[in-house]
Amino acid sequence: MKTNSIILLLLLVMVSGFAQQDSQYTHYMYNTININPAYAGNRGVTSIFGLHRTQWVGLDGAPTTNAFSINAPLQNSRVGLGLSFVNDEIGAGDQNNIAVDVSYTIPTSEEYDLSFGIKASADLLNVDYTKLSRYNTANPAFQNNIDNKFSPNIGAGVYYHSDKMYVGFSVPNFLNTKHFDDNSSVAVKDRLHYYLMGGYVFDVSPSIKLKPSILTKMVSGAPLQVDLSANVLLQDKFTLGLSYRWSAAATAMAGIQVTHGLLVGYSYDFDTTSLENYNSGSHEIFLRFELFNIQKRIITPRFF
């Protein structure tokens, strides 16, 4: 029985890994609202975002993430609103997260604004044990699947920005929530994630912009994760970039501003850990569509 409990623990850590580690994004600089609620309405337009990520292609049970969000400023106010949905699948586990974001922006000077945000979210966790190779099907721990285990949460963030730079700090989930508890012998919990991000846009020439950026993620019981990236915007239309996730992966990124309101992007991650021998890398693609107010139309798309 002890052996079965250990196997179950390892299994749940694998299938609930996304519960301990929030969804991972290479295009975090375009998907900011998922990790920082203070970003809601920050672009000054209605922004609709969709992303699909397939991680560690070729590895059975590897994570797959789908994310969708919409955010916009309330007209004639300093308030921004956002709504997002994220689905994570890993192994036999499936988790859905729905979140509502509210932000409030205070001008601190002619160029800089400071935004505060609150995120209210709900997780629905499913684990289907029939998808696993069970050597002891009589074990009671494998008899009942986890169906839509509901876990509410709340988070907050701050975002300081201008047209050229941004710095943000956020904790999307303050509550440590148990997702599984087998008579108190085995437990998997959400852990607090602390995000610190920043970036700056340099005008290299009238037609070339360079934006270095950084994202750090701190989680109790896990190594510090640091993403360093540099993107070049050409003619306000084409984006090319490179990124490095410390001791984890190197990435090539590309994007195109198809129309004034539609941005499409793609990235490919090359694994730099021992997992590189067992997978063919990770793919991520996103679409961002924005609706502009005719009187406040953005002439040049902002780079973040």
Domain boundary assignment for the chain: 25-134+141-291
- Domain 25-134+141-291 sits in CATH at 2.40.160.40
Give the pLDDT confidence score for residue 127 in this predicted structure. Answer: 84
- Give me the tens of pLDDT residue by residue for the chain, a chain 304 residues long: 433 333 344 444 444 443 446 788 999 999 999 999 999 999 999 999 999 999 999 888 889 999 999 999 998 899 999 999 999 998 888 899 999 999 999 999 999 999 999 999 999 988 887 766 656 666 666 667 777 789 999 999 999 999 999 999 999 999 876 655 554 444 456 678 999 999 999 999 999 999 999 999 998 777 889 999 999 999 999 999 999 999 889 999 999 999 989 999 999 999 998 888 888 999 999 999 998 764 455 545 678 8
Which residue reads 């070049």 in tokens?
232
